[in-house]
Chains A and B, each alone.
Chain A
Amino acid sequence: MANEGAVSAAPAHAEVTRRATARRVTPRQEGPWRQRLEIALFVTPALTLMAVFVVWPIASAVRMSFYRWKGFGPMDDFVGWRNYDRVLHDQVFTDAIMHNFTIVILSILVQLPLGLAVALLLNRKIRFRGVLRTVVFVPYVLAEVIAGVVWFQLLQPESGVVDGIISGIGLTPPEQGFLGTPDLALWTVFVVLTWKYLGLAILLFMAGLQGVPDELYEAAQLDGATWWQTQRRIAIPLLGPTIRTWAFLSMIGSIQLFDMVWILTGGGPANATTTMATYLINQGTGRYNYGIAGAASVVLFVIGFVMALAYQTFVLRRDTQTEG
């Protein structure tokens, strides 16, 4: 209703002042209260939804972590830091942290060069490039669960295709299968994750390569640079911000890893692939140790948060500074 008033009043006013003050028309003319009301109107739904389904549950996780609670009855058995003490001294959990970090580091060490190589390759003038681009992106689109189920079949001991290929070239596949051998399981999960997520790296790097001005390549070409030289001296350095953004996304994803592990190994064999997320789900919904699960979630959150903050401060700041 207030809108209609503004609409009918404004034209007459505007006729007079149009030329004189056109440049000075700012929202402030509508009055600060009206503007505040509009802002509140626009942001309240989003903030409410996040308050209820993001902030409140996380706050509850923190609260839960200080109680011993089995999920029923009142939460009144306050135990202080005991759950944290237990979680941090539980070797399954400390191993889980190691597994998460192994995946974080391996992802960057392996997927970055691989993704870069494929992106540069697909950026060349080759036939069927459009099709190739689409194809390499297919695994990223699939649900982790669905990709996991297919790989689970491929990796079946003896009857699976992977074992078939390995015996076909004269090697002996592990007796318990790749997912059943504790020393190999985490690496196998990582290989499947790389298959699944390389497409995102390629997509982002290729998007970044679009931003490199043609003139740079042309100038280098005129100066007699080879294809590889232009890539190494021009394309890759200019991809810096994109690479750093991708690495950030990759880290955040690796820290939260759950779906793929749950489908492929369930955290086994002998906890060889447990991640922080599978640990807390197991403690929470499997054993009803909600306090332990709460403490594990807080540890997961703190690790992720510190990592993100450190990355933001030391690595990404350069990019945002030049942008802003």
Chain B
Amino acid sequence: MASRRKKEFGGGSPLVYFLALAAVALTVGPVLYGALGGFRSNEQLARDPAGLPDPWVWKNYSGVISNPDFWRYAMNSTVIALITTVVAVLFGVMAAYPLARYQFKLREPLFMVFVLGLLFPAAVAIIPLFILVTRDLHMGNSWWGVALPQAAFALPITVVILRPFLMAIPKELEEAALIDGASRVGIFRWLALPLSVPGLITTGVLAFVGSWNAYLLPLLLLQEDMRTLPLGVADYSTEHSADTAGVLAFTTLAMIPALLLFLTMQRRIVGGLQGAVKG
């Protein structure tokens, strides 16, 4: 996006700026309302729902920050998202490598398995998954019990995005390495992995944010101290439904990590998705 030349000749007329402003207001309005609402008291919110903080109230945010539950949920979310990301990206790039660089008969059928995997909604499998994880694997209410199924459901998109990245590595590089005596496994480690880092980051961020935001599977599998932030937010808002300002503060603080991650990685994600859409 940075290297754009003079592509568009339509400049900014007042109408364009007005429309852009309207789009921005509608987009950030609710988020801003949540963030500012956290700085108000419930009494202020009741008096004028759309007003600004007057005076600014800090106790909602400080209450959330000093709430050990919030940090416990944040930690659960972080650990589960990290496990999901590492497993999905590692297994995904391993699977994508032969699908991109080897010639073998089952290559396309095998790739179709992953493409079809995109069509399996998690909701279809959710009840048996719940039974499998809690009763058969005894991993209910644990980090791994949520992370492994999430990684499994993140694998198809990871493989589908990574394959074109790996295919784009020039054949000459690979041949040169082979002639110099590298094994295929060595090529994977020392050539393919470093050259596909942009794709790894894209798929990693997608897996991380997907896990961070997930609700359905954690809802069934996690209770009490093991809950993640989305569960915590949902439960907090029902348990403290009278304390609107507190709910807004809790919710606002819970959005920050995913927001920061996505905004810093935005360019890479766009690049990765572009590759996937074209590939």
A residues adjacent to B (C-beta < 8 A): 3, 6-11, 14, 18, 22, 25-28, 30, 35-36, 38-39, 41-43, 45-47, 49-50, 52-54, 56-58, 60-61, 64, 71, 118, 121-127, 130, 132-139, 141-154, 159-161, 164-165, 195, 199, 203-204, 206-208, 210-212, 214, 217, 221, 227, 241-242, 245, 252, 255-256, 258-259, 262-263, 276-277, 280-281, 284-285, 290, 293-294, 297-298, 300-301, 304-305, 308, 323
Contact = CB atoms under 8 A, between A and B. Distances in A.
A252 B121 contact: yes
B16 A124 contact: yes
B110 A27 contact: no
A195 B230 contact: no
A270 to B, nearest CB: 20
B179 A47 contact: no
A282 to B, nearest CB: 11
A126 B122 CA distance: 41
Contact of A61 (B125, B230, B266): B125
B215 A259 contact: yes
A39 B179 contact: no
A256 B104 CA distance: 35
Given A46-B91, A136-B27, A150-B33, A27 B103 contact: yes
Nearest to A12: B181
B23 A125 contact: no
Contacts of A207: 270, 273-274, 277
Classify the interface of chain B: helix, strand, loop or mixed.
helix
7 contacts: A18-B179, A30-B184, A126-B16, A153-B244, A211-B278, A281-B127, A323-B278
A308 B37 CA distance: 42
Interface of B: 1, 4-12, 16-17, 19-20, 23-24, 26-28, 30-31, 33-34, 37, 45-46, 48-50, 87, 90-92, 94-95, 97-99, 102-104, 110, 113-114, 117-132, 148-149, 151-153, 155-156, 159, 175, 178-186, 188, 209, 212-216, 220, 229-231, 233-234, 237, 244, 247-248, 251, 254-255, 258-259, 262-263, 266, 270, 273-274, 277-279
B4 to A, nearest CB: 8
Nearest to B248: A153
Nearest to A43: B95
B263 A64 contact: no
Contacts of A11: 180-181
B27 to A, nearest CB: 5
Contact of B130 (A133, A285, A323): A285
A164 B48 CA distance: 8
B183 A6 contact: yes
10 closest Cβ pairs, A-B complex: A143-B213, A53-B152, A10-B181, A60-B128, A57-B125, A126-B12, A227-B10, A46-B95, A57-B128, A145-B230
Given A135-B24, A154-B33, A259-B216, A58 B124 contact: yes
A49 B215 contact: no
Contact of B181 (A7, A64, A160): A7
A290 B91 contact: no
Contacts of B244: 153, 159
A90 B144 CA distance: 37
A195 B31 CA distance: 11
A52 B121 CA distance: 15
B19 A121 contact: yes
Q: Which one of A125, A139, A255, A323 has the greatest number of beta carbons of chain B within 10 Å?
A: A125
Nearest to B172: A22
A61 B275 CA distance: 35
B175 A146 contact: no
A230 B235 CA distance: 50
A204 B30 contact: no
A284 B121 contact: no
A308 B119 contact: yes
Given A60-B131, A150-B33, A136 B23 contact: yes
Contact of A242 (B4, B11, B277): B277
A153 B247 contact: yes
A72 B250 CA distance: 38
B104 A39 contact: yes
Nearest to B209: A141
A29 B60 CA distance: 68
Contacts of B34: 150, 153
Contacts of A150: 30-31, 33-34, 248, 251
A300 B123 contact: yes
Contacts of A210: 1, 4, 274
B258 A297 contact: no
Contacts of B262: 137, 141
A150 B151 CA distance: 28
A301 B124 contact: yes
B23 A123 contact: no
B195 to A, nearest CB: 16
A161 B121 contact: no
Contact of A6 (B156, B181, B230, B273): B181
B124 A143 contact: no
